[in-house]
Structure 1
Amino acid sequence: MVNIRSLDPSASPLDYYGAELRRLREEAGLNQQQLGDIVYCTASLIGQIETAKKVPTREFSERLDAALMTGGLFSRLVGLVLKSQLPTWFQQYAEMEARAAYISTYQAQLVYGLLQTEEYARAVLATGLPDDLEGLVAARMERQRILSREHPPMAWVILDEAALHRPIGGPGVMRNQLAYLLGFRANRWVRIQVLPFAAGEHASLIGAFNSLRFESDPDIVYTEDLIAGHMTANPETVREAALRYAHLQASALSVEDSAELITRVMEEHYGDHSGPDPRAVA
């Protein structure tokens, strides 16, 4: 039986998306199976999205726009839907990040979210045991779109060497992730440095942080604890973060030497991943 659960379109972006999908599908005289055949998915998926039980992807939205001739409606809506899937405490930061002209970040344990592959992001996000892992993954991939827009922010990323060695998702996922990082060498808007183990004690042993710089608004520093994230435009904090970042840049390898280290770790630690994942169980 087709699920015809009623939705309140004002309840959330996801509910609005589902209500609009049902309305336009019915106006086109299509049932869920017929639309699914057109956009290469199951009737069940159409039903789940129409009842706000499943988060749509950008690719799905683009196919809907073509099938229902909506003039790009769903491609516009999906950005709001995916942003709403981010943790509530993170949504304001994501909005500020998308507006920033310059992003600088030091990451002590993980590859920076804007530079993660989908498989790596899925493995990271799964550690939080979320109710909707795929929705979170889709939201993270959507967040990365700021790096491919016509006028992207300048992103300067310092990764602790530990982030290269921790096998998130297994050897295959890590090899693809490190190869993905190397692909940014041709991107003039992204610069990646590695803080090597040999640097010893450094200016941010306390942990990771991000700094955002804007065309006209005050700079912002962002940090996270176990539960949530915190933003501040306090001038003293911003100045302290800038000083620490300058020391981190001075201690880190050059962009070129960092790429060489990433390549070496990729080949020596993840060069052959044809065998079984050592973490797998029978």
Structure 2
Amino acid sequence: MSVVVPAARPVLELTDVRVTFGSGRSATPVLRGVDASIHAGKTLGIVGESGSGKSTMAKAIVGLVKPNAGTIAFQGRDVTAMSGAERRRMRRDVQMVPQDPYSSLNPRRTIGQTLAEAIDPLRANPKEHAQKISYWLSTIRLDPDVAERYPHEFSGGQRQRIAIARALAVQPKLIIADEITSALDLSVQAEILNLIGRLRKELDLTMAFISHDLDVVHHVSDEILVLFHGEVVERGDVDAVYGNPRHPYTRRLIDSVPGGPGFDIGERRLAEV
């Protein structure tokens, strides 16, 4: 007699999520019935051009935007029904790595202070958490001695690494990476993508990776969700979607990649982390 093992519940599940900005004649639908899910240890790539609803989807997940309809369940709990205090507590479990590496770090805090605050908001003392700070800096391939330095002393790529370390230091259940390579040049993009690839394996990360660049998403994701004017037009296994796109919009995104289908991101990978 075979035993049926129930499928694991997704860490994150969106069901028919709709977001509209404004009301009446000025109402603008931004998300139109979005369904999505992310299981533990997996990365969902969310791709679409500017205005497709990607960032609104990310903000809805962390509770910064309230859907007009639908549900967002994080670890089985409906985010849209949480109180403000519950949502604030949830945000430690759902960490965002922002797009802009230059404005995401407090210029008045050392890197050690920034990481200490992430590790323990109540006792953000770098000396007390020196071992953990060193660990996370080493994990992103920065010398632990940089903990004494300030953000302005780092390049954009280094700042983005630090932003990633800050998110990881909280030990979240879900990371949302929102266009984290778009402000970087190609060689630095390569370093960050290689870093993400390594961390996914070493730390078994659960992630939503948001980008307008389908080729980038292809190389860091397990599954892809394609947004077009707020609607999911295609989703599935990353290689299946990239290798055999069914929707014209997805094909257009692939055709816009330098070299077309099969373009090797190795051209970006000019330096290994």
TM-score past 0.5 threshold = no
> What's the TM-score once normalised by structure 2's chain length?
0.28
Larger strand share, 1 or 2: 2
> What's the TM-score once normalised by structure 1's chain length?
0.27
Larger helix share, 1 or 2: 1
Higher RCO (C-alpha 8 Å, min separation 6): 2
